[in-house]
Amino acid sequence: MDPVPSSPASAATAVRTKSGHYSFWRLLREGLRGQRGWRPAWVKASPKPRYRVVIVGGGGHGLSTAYYLASHFGITDVAVVERGPIGLGNVGRNTTIVRSNYFQPANIRFYEYSLKLWEGLERELNFNAMVSQRGTLNLFHTEAQRDLFTRRANQMRLLGVDAEAVTREGVKSLVPLIDLDNGRYPVLGGFLQPRGGTVRHDAVAWGYARGASERGVDIIEHCEVTGIRHDGGRVAGVETSRGFLGADIVCLAVAGHSSRLAGMAGLRLPIETHVLQAWVTESLKPVLDVVLTYGAGHFYVSQSDKGGLVFGGAIDGYNTYGQRGTLPMAEEVAAAAVTLLPGLARVKVLRQWGGIMDMSMDGSPIISKTPVEGLILNGGWCYGGFKAIPAGGMTTAYLVAHGSPHPLATHLDLGRFAAGRPIDERGIGPFPYAH
Ligand SMILES: Cc1cc2nc3c(=O)[nH]c(=O)nc-3n(C[C@H](O)[C@H](O)[C@H](O)COP(=O)(O)OP(=O)(O)OC[C@H]3O[C@@H](n4cnc5c(N)ncnc54)[C@H](O)[C@@H]3O)c2cc1C
C-alpha cells in the first residue's frame, strides 16, 4: 500500500527556489568565490492577517507538516508560527535515534513508513541531514526478555521489516567495549534493526524549513501563540505576540506544550509533561558504530560524527516545564553506562540538557481532529517523536488536506482514550508513561 500521493503538478509548479540547489559543484564554486553566493535557507516571514492553515510550533512535526502540505498536497497558504527561533525545541535536543522496532502492527507500519521517508529525505529535500543507518542494537538480559524481543522481532519480520537476533558473541563483535558479564545484568544477546540509526536533528528542522519556505509557506519566528480563538465550536485563528492570525485550520504541533495550547481552546488532553535529559561526552576516536540500548535499565548511546558519545535515559518522574532535570537521573544513567561499557568510566561529560516531553497515557502519539472543529492536534510524542517526524508530518498534512485520517494513522486518534481502546504497545496493558 502506498497511501502517499505523489506531488501534484500544482505543487511542483509552486516551487520558488530561493536558496538554490545544494551540490558538490555549488560548494566548489562558492569555495572559489569566497562563499559570497549563499542565500538564507528560509525566508524570515512577517505575519499576514489570514491563512488557510496556521501550524503552531516550528519543531520537526510543525515544519514537516508544512513541507508536506505544500509539496504533496498543493496547500501553500500556510504559516508556521514559532515562539522562538525554529529548531530549538525537542527537535534540536534529542538523541537523534531513528528506528521502527515496535510491537503493535499499526505502530510498526507507521514508524516503518517514517524510516522509509528518512531513507529518501536528503534527496527529497536536497539537504544533508546526515542520515546514518548504522543499526540499532537492543540488548536483553533475561530469558523472559529474550521471549519478548523475539515476539517483537517476529512481528516486525511478518510485516517485512528488518530485525535480526544477535548472539552474545555477535554483540561483542558489534560493541567491543561492552562488558557482557557485568555484575548487575549480564548480557544474553540482542536484537538488531540494521536499518535503524541516527539523523542529525537540527538539520532536519532546517531542511524541512527550507523546503516549505521555497514552496511559499511563511515561517514566522519569535511569534508566540497566546490564545486560540474559536466561535461556535469552530476555530477562527490564533492570538499571537504579533497580532491575530485568522485561519480555517489551526494545527498544534507544540510537543511538550500540547496541553497548554489545547487548554487555550478549552480542551483537556490525556497528556502529562515531564523533562527528559541527554548528555554528550568529549570527542573520542571511533568506539561505537551502532546505536546501543540497555535492556535492564533506561540507557541508550550512540557516537556522533564529531566523536562525542550522545546518551540518555528515562524521564525525570515529576511534572515540569523546566528544561533542566535532576542529578539523581544523571547518576542513574551514568551507572547504567559504566555497567555496560566500563571503559567509559573516565570519559568526561561535556554537556547536559533537557527537553519537555508530552507523555500520553498509553505511550503512543496523537494525530487527530479535536472536538473544536478545524483544530488539529499532532502531539503526545513522549520521547520517541524524532524518528516519527517524516511520517508525523505527512500524516498530519494528509489529515489537514483530506479532513480524514491517513490510513497509517487511524489508530492515533484522540478519541481512543475516552473510548477505552488505548494502544497496548508494551503488550502488558496500558498505563501512564507506557512509552
Ligand atoms: C533528551 C531527549 C532525547 C530524545 N531522544 C529521542 C530519540 O533518540 N529518538 C526519537 O525518536 N525521539 C527522541 N526524543 C523525542 C523527540 O525529540 C520529540 O518527541 C519530538 O522532537 C517532538 O516533536 P517536535 O520536533 O515537533 O517538537 P519541538 O521541536 O519541541 O517543537 C515544538 C515547538 O513548539 C514551539 N511552541 C511551544 N509553545 C508555543 C507557543 N505558544 N507559540 C508558538 N510556538 C510554541 C516550541 O518553541 C517548539 O519549537 C528526545 C527528546 C529529548 C528531549
Q: Candidates 83, 88, 94, 241: which one to mutate for ligand 1, based on the most atoms within 8 Å of Cβ?
A: 94
Q: Is 164 exposed, middle or buried (0-12, 13-18, 19+ CB in 10 A)?
A: middle
116, 298, 292, 385 alpha-carbon torsion, rounded to 10°: 20
pTM given for the model: 0.95
Percent of the chain with pLDDT over 90: 89
Of 140-144, 290-294, 406-410, 423-427, the poorest mean pLDDT is in: 423-427
Output the residue whose Cα is nearest ligand 1's atom 31: 59
Q: Is 197 left (phi over 0), alpha (psi -120 to 50) or beta?
A: left
CATH architecture type of domain 43-128+200-270+362-419:
3-Layer(bba) Sandwich (3.50)
Q: Rounded mean pLDDT of 235-263? A: 98
Closest ligand 1 atom to residue 358 Cα is 19
User: Given the CA of residue 240, which atom of ligand 1 is nearest to it?
Assistant: 42
Q: What's the CA-to-centroid distance between 90 and ligand 1, angstroms?
A: 3
Q: Which atom of ligand 1 is nearest to the CA of 57?
A: 34
Query: Do 43-128+200-270+362-419 and 136-196+273-360 share a fold?
Result: no
For helices 389-402 and 105-125, the axis angle rounded to 10 degrees is 100
- For residue 381, the CA-to-ligand 1 centroid distance in Å is 8
Residues framing ligand 1 (Cβ under 6 A) = 56-62, 81-84, 89-91, 93-97, 224-225, 253-255, 257, 261, 276-278, 312, 355, 381, 383-387
pLDDT band, residue 428 (cuts 50/70/90)? low
Residue 106 phi/psi, 5-degree rounding, is -65, -40
Q: What is the pLDDT of residue 295?
A: 86
Taking the CA of residue 62 as reference, the ligand 1 atom at the shortest distance is 26
Q: Residue 424 has what pLDDT?
A: 86
Q: Which atom of ligand 1 is nearest to the CA of 96?
A: 8
Tens digit of each residue's pLDDT (9 = 90 or more) over 290-309: 999 998 888 999 999 999 99
Mean pLDDT estimate for the chain: 93
Cα(348) to centroid of ligand 1, in Å? 27
Residue ranges covered by each domain of the chain:
43-128+200-270+362-419, 136-196+273-360
The dotted CATH code for 136-196+273-360 is 3.30.9.10
* Closest C-alpha residue for ligand 1 atom 15: 383
Q: Is the pLDDT of residue 157 over 60?
A: yes
CA of 60 to the centre of ligand 1 (A): 7
pLDDT tens digits, residue range 170-179? 999 999 999 9
pLDDT score for 232 = 87
Residues 331 and 335: their CA atoms lie apart, in Å, by 6
- Do the beta carbons of residue 389 and residue 66 sit within 8 Å? no
